[in-house]
A and B are shown apart, each in its own frame.
Chain A
């Protein structure tokens, strides 16, 4: 049965299909609407904000990436997938991907392991626990730029504190900026220093939710502390570990400020060293979009990074689920 909602020719209201008490119908309809729509309205602010600041930029970036687009020169030409096919053969891009993954591995793995041990230590009974726990987040509240500048000076080739120390113990100075592998280590040191405390705090919170009787039972059975850590604590933390791994993956693959500020030897800071020793994908993206007037190609790199992060998050998720599980 269909209802004709079109106004009649003489402008009158459409004829109702069934005669009803108008007041009752209005109320019941309102109640039905409330029941069905209210939940959506309550959660809508998030989606609206996401639509404006998440989905729209994402799709707009895709649109930009299909153009030869220059912000400074004003060129704007549709090129379809040309940027993407160039990207696949772009050595500099893949070089940046390798750098990013290298720095990501060097920072994330020690970071999460150390955070786990640290949280375990903090979970013991100790004096003034609050002091130590708050001390953990101190690096997090210092500005990234300040951290990066100080660390860059510590790792200075000629006058840096680290090289002075290495010299003292007879190892000899390292060219932290010039050597690709060592530059990764130096940048990872900044990332680790900053984020270990944060992750430790998250692990600590999760650890405190583990029932104490599990440990008591294990103690009675004669399990050592190390055994308890690996057999009780780690499995019980699995969801938390998955969370931190994914957050670290997203952050690690988007690493930007630290390598940019570490890049003190070249005129263009986005280069990450003269032969791009530590240029990350985000630096390459920024350099193309805003440094070299290739806004379209920069957007292409951004989309490639987006896909890369999804792939890595999935891999990590599967990996952690497999190894951390007790099932």
Chain B
């Protein structure tokens, strides 16, 4: 009797679970449709500029239908992909991995299709060498991701506000104004107080990320973590210099204390809140989106102070849970090939990680109408050719946001500037545990 009851409960439970599982997994596996059609799902965040490419691919492959699922920001994308990969279910046939999360998933490379098995080896020359290398596992045996874009740096500035403050407005003169971050600081001092209600730059976080990557690229080639993933936050001089640079602007009250892509930052872009933003190429798309009609013709792009650098960029990977590894790999190859990257650039300003694409006249000769016809293809292309790679550890994002919080708290008056570095070291250690 007792045994019978237990078995009965187990049967009912198993039934319930089966129903639940069916309910969860019902609509997202795409599956084969009648007539041998294949549906491929692509998971991205922000803008990748693939809409035209999908149509092109579907026209060339009548049996393939492509569905894109887009999440607005990387921060909102992170928990989802984590769940998909951990549970082996729910992920698209292709997922985008940003440079901050790629090292994390590299630790679980076996959850992704090895693209070397799908003709990946011959593609190496399509990419900047370091971009290619970061998509390969440390042992060199497993190609997890194919590079999409990179974020060569520039500096966006408001021409109209510069004019009001009596600063030069032509982009070449502006670039000459700030060869270094110190010169940029001095230019800021000239600006400050001239235009009421406007600060020199948006906040401490964009400049911190920019300088961390610049200094690390020029110096040791790694930032918060060394290449064996030990936290070197307090011993890497590249970090201390970057932190001091960002802190200097906070102390002088030259920033609006905002963090990029947060709602207050988006609102501020529709006003005269700040005059400059450190600008990786993809930032142009963000400014155009949030500044919209208000900012058209007011913005321009100059060279970034402090030498070469990049910020951001992604890879496309194929999770092993896909039912169509071959077809998904083919689509990923198509989207990341030089022609694909050039087309994506044309659509959404995501700068190609492929040198061939960067040299393509449609990219290198491109101008941005929104940014006063700035020759963005040349500005970012020149920068892209010079950048040096920076190694990011798996816990890079955790440390970064913890330290940025310290800088924001300085702006809020919650942390004294002289205590900021000690607090940042403490926060970094806690975040890296």
Rounded to whole angstroms, the CA-CA distance of A290 and B86 in the bound complex is: 11
What residues on B are CB-neighbors of A51 within 8 Å? 13
Residue in A265, A268, A290 whose CB lies within 8 Å of B82: A290
Determine if B20 is an interface residue (Cβ-Cβ < 8 Å): yes
* B7 CB-CB contact with A under 8 Å: no
Assess whether B267 is interfacial by the CB under 8 Å rule. Answer: yes
Contacts of A264 on B, CB cut-off 8 Å?
262-264
* Interchain nearest-CB distance for B417 vs A (Å): 14
Chain A residue numbers with a CB within 8 Å of B406 are 274
Q: Is the CB of B104 within 8 A of A72?
A: yes
A73, B108: Cα distance in complex, Å: 6
Verify A266–B12 contact, CB threshold 8 A.
Answer: no
**A258 interface residue per 8 A CB criterion:** no
A268 touching B104, Cβ below 8 Å: no
- B259's partner among A73, A158, A267 (CB-CB below 8 A) is A267
CA distance A292 to B20 in the complex (A): 29
Binary A-proximity of B105-127 (CB < 8 A = 1, otherwise 0): 10110010000000000000000
A275 at the interface (CB under 8 A from B): yes
- Check if B86 sits within 8 Å of A72, measured CB to CB: yes
- Given that A178-B413, A275-B415, A290-B83 are known contacts, is A265 also in contact with B408, CB under 8 Å in the complex? yes
Closest to A156 in B: B264
Our pick among B108, B263, B408 for the contact of A74 (Cβ within 8 Å) is B108
Nearest CB of A to B222, in Å: 19
Tell me whether A274 and B412 are in contact (CB under 8 A): yes
Contact B16 A52 (CB under 8 A): yes
Contact residues of B between 254 and 292, Cβ < 8 Å to A: 257-264, 267
Residues of B within 8 A of A295 (CB): 86
Chain A proximity of B278: nearest CB distance (Å): 15
A59 at the interface (CB under 8 A from B): no
Q: Is B394 engaged at the interface, CB distance under 8 Å to the other chain?
A: yes
A48 surroundings in chain B (CB, below 8 A): 9, 12-13, 16
B75 within 8 Å of A (CB atoms): yes
- B221-277 contacts to A, CB under 8 A, are 257-264, 267
Question: A51 CA to B6 CA in the complex, in Å?
Answer: 14
- Beta-carbon contacts under 8 Å, A73-106 to B: 73-75, 92
Alpha-carbon gap, A248 to B402, bound state (A): 32
Residue in contact with B85 in the complex, picked from A72, A159, A271, CB distance below 8 Å: A72
- Interchain CB contact under 8 A, B409 and A71: no
Contact B264 A71 (CB under 8 A): no
**Bound CA span A264–B260, Å:** 11
Cross-interface CB contact of A268 among B86, B258, B401, B414, cutoff 8 Å: B401
Does residue B79 face the partner (Cβ distance < 8 Å to A)? yes
The digit string for B194-223, where 1 denotes a CB below 8 A from any CB of A, is 000000000001000000000000000000
Whether B78 sits at the interface, judged by CB under 8 Å, is yes
Q: Using a CB-CB cutoff of 8 Å, which residues 260-274 of chain A contact chain B?
A: 264-269, 271, 274
Query: Is A291's CB under 8 angstroms from B263's CB?
Result: no
Quick check: is B398 within 8 A (CB to CB) of the other chain? Answer: yes
User: How far apart are the CA atoms of A75 and B86 in the complex, in Å?
Assistant: 11
Chain A nearest CB from B34 CB (Å) reads 34
Please name all residues of chain B whose beta carbon is closer than 8 Å to the beta carbon of A269 when the two chains form the complex. Answer: 75
Most buried by B among A152, A275, A277: A275
Contact with B along A281-323 (1 / 0, CB 8 A): 0000000001111010000000000000000000000000000
**Chain A minimum-CB-distance residue to B256:** A158
Asked if A175 is at the interface (CB within 8 A of a chain B CB), the reply is yes
Per the bound structure, the CA–CA distance linking A103 and B382 in Å amounts to 53
- Chain B interfacial residues counted at CB < 8 A: 44
Q: Is B387's CB within 8 Å of the partner chain A?
A: no
A274-B405 contact, Cβ under 8 Å, with A159-B267, A269-B75: yes
Q: Is there an interface contact between A72 and B105, defined as CB atoms closer than 8 Å?
A: yes
B residues 58-86 touching A (CB-CB < 8 Å): 75, 78-79, 82-83, 85-86
Interface residues as binary, B171-190 with A (CB distance below 8 Å gives 1, 0 otherwise): 00000000000000000000
B300 adjacent to chain A (CB < 8 Å): no
The CA of A271 and the CA of B406, in the complex, are separated in Å by 12
A52 touches B412 (CB 8 A): no
**Chain B 1-33: CB-based contact to A (< 8 A → 1; otherwise 0):** 000000001001100110010000000000000
- B428 interface contact, C-beta 8 A: no
Closest to B15 in A: A48
Inter-subunit contact A72/B82 (CB<8 Å): yes
How many Å from the CB of A285 to the closest CB on chain B? 13
Known: A71-B83, A178-B414, A274-B412. A268 touches B17 (CB 8 A): no
B107 touches A267 (CB 8 A): no
Q: How far is the CA of A295 from the CA of B405 in the complex (A)?
A: 22
Given A72-B85, A268-B401, A178 and B105 contact (CB-CB distance below 8 Å): no
Are the C-beta atoms of A73 and B394 separated by less than 8 Å? Answer: yes
Give bound CA distance, A266 to B78, whole Å.
16
Contact residues of A between 114 and 165, Cβ < 8 Å to B: 152, 156, 158-159
Closest partner residue, chain A, to B404 (CB atom): A267
In the complex, whether B296 has a CB less than 8 A from a CB of chain A is: no
Is the Cβ of A92 less than 8 Å from the Cβ of B104? no
Q: Are B394 and A178 in contact (CB under 8 A)?
A: no
Q: Contact between B86 and A274 (Cβ–Cβ < 8 Å)?
A: no
Give the residues in chain B near A74, CB-CB below 8 Å.
86, 107-108, 111
Known contacts A265-B262, A266-B262; A73/B12 CB under 8 A: no
Question: B414's closest neighbor in chain A, by CB?
Answer: A275
Question: Which residues from chain B contact A73 at a C-beta distance below 8 Å?
Answer: 104, 107-108, 394
* Top 6 closest pairs, chain A to chain B, by CB: A71-B86, A274-B405, A274-B409, A178-B412, A274-B408, A74-B108
Known A73-B104, A75-B107; further 20 A-B contacts with Cβ < 8 A? A48-B12, A48-B16, A52-B17, A72-B86, A74-B86, A152-B263, A156-B264, A158-B264, A178-B413, A264-B262, A265-B258, A267-B75, A267-B205, A267-B259, A267-B260, A267-B262, A274-B406, A274-B408, A274-B412, A292-B398
A-B contact pairs, 22 of them (CB 8 A): A48-B12, A48-B16, A72-B105, A73-B394, A158-B264, A178-B412, A264-B262, A265-B258, A265-B264, A265-B408, A267-B75, A267-B259, A267-B260, A267-B401, A269-B75, A274-B408, A290-B78, A290-B83, A292-B431, A293-B104, A293-B395, A293-B398
